[in-house]
Amino acid sequence: MSNRKKDVLLADCFIQITHSHPTPALDPSTYKLKAPLNVLIIDASRGIGASIAYAYARAGTAKLILAARASSSKELYAVVQQASCLNPSVPISYVPVNITSPSRVATCAGGDLQDSKDIFDFDVQGTYLVGHHFIPLLRKSDGTKTFIAVNSFAALITSGHIANTAYCVSKLAQARLMEYVAEYMMPCTSTYVDFGACLLTDIDLTDDAGLCGTFCVWLSREKRMWLNGRPISATWNVDDLLEKRGQVEDEDLLRIGFRVGDASAASLSQL
């Protein structure tokens, strides 16, 4: 068995300083977004999705569109009310949506939706359909043209007490899908963000659910091509992450792949 540290452990220590709660550097109310920004948030009725909605409301986006399954309409309306209280000047609309249904996602780009099925359909099929229908709108828009998926470093694990097969495999597939978006959907950028150690419910582990939302707003401030198609964590200190830009670009870090060792040495041994 290899003694090499697992990727998820290496990812956890890529940035030395991490945070469990939003920091002043991530305070959305202090940001000036460079252009009128329209934001669509899927699964916004609770947890991380709701926290992202609150963060963009505080940042003062041009328009905020919140979507969730029809069965969560009551909770979604409560999020709309809270976001409106945080910033009454931001126009907010909401729609029921099942992002696993092609016809309903197509309608959402102008309309109506309902219930989602299982986690794999939600993470992979849902991300694909949302990208298929909304990235063309992003391309036509002004501003940062950013497509963000809430992912997890669970995509990197295969063992341990949180290694749920369906969840980890679906997150890995979603991560690869976001890399395809980065490769083929220019001039849009795509980034997938590990939300930290908290759950998409009212049960917190160690990190504030609001951390992911404020981090997403930070990502939206400007076009960050050097993070295009790469997994990053909402817990990372953003100043330290910015300092690593050169290293990330020069060494092509923060990629999912497989290792074959020193290929040049292997070739020489066969001569």
Q: CA distances (Å), 210 to each of 53, 195, 235, in order?
A: 10, 9, 11
The two tokens of residue 201 are 């419910």
Q: Which residue ranges of the chain lie beneath pLDDT 70?
A: 1-12, 100, 104, 107-108, 110-117, 196-205, 259-271
Q: What is the pLDDT of residues 89-100, one digit of tens each?
A: 999 998 888 776
- Determine the residue type at 164: N
Give me the residue spans of the domains in the chain.
30-258
With CA atoms as reference, report the closest residue to 212 among 150, 162, 153, 155.
Answer: 150
Q: What is the pLDDT of residues 96-122, one digit of tens each?
A: 887 767 776 776 675 543 333 477 888
Residues in Cβ contact with 252 at an 8 Å cutoff, skipping those fewer than 6 apart:
none
The pTM of the full predicted model, rounded to 2 decimals, is 0.75
- Determine the residue type at 172: L
What is the overall mean pLDDT for the chain?
A: 82
E strands, 116-260, are: 146-151, 189-194, 231-233
- 30-258 maps to which CATH number? 3.40.50.720
With CA atoms as reference, report the closest residue to 141 among 196, 202, 188.
Answer: 188
Radius of gyration of the chain (CA): 19
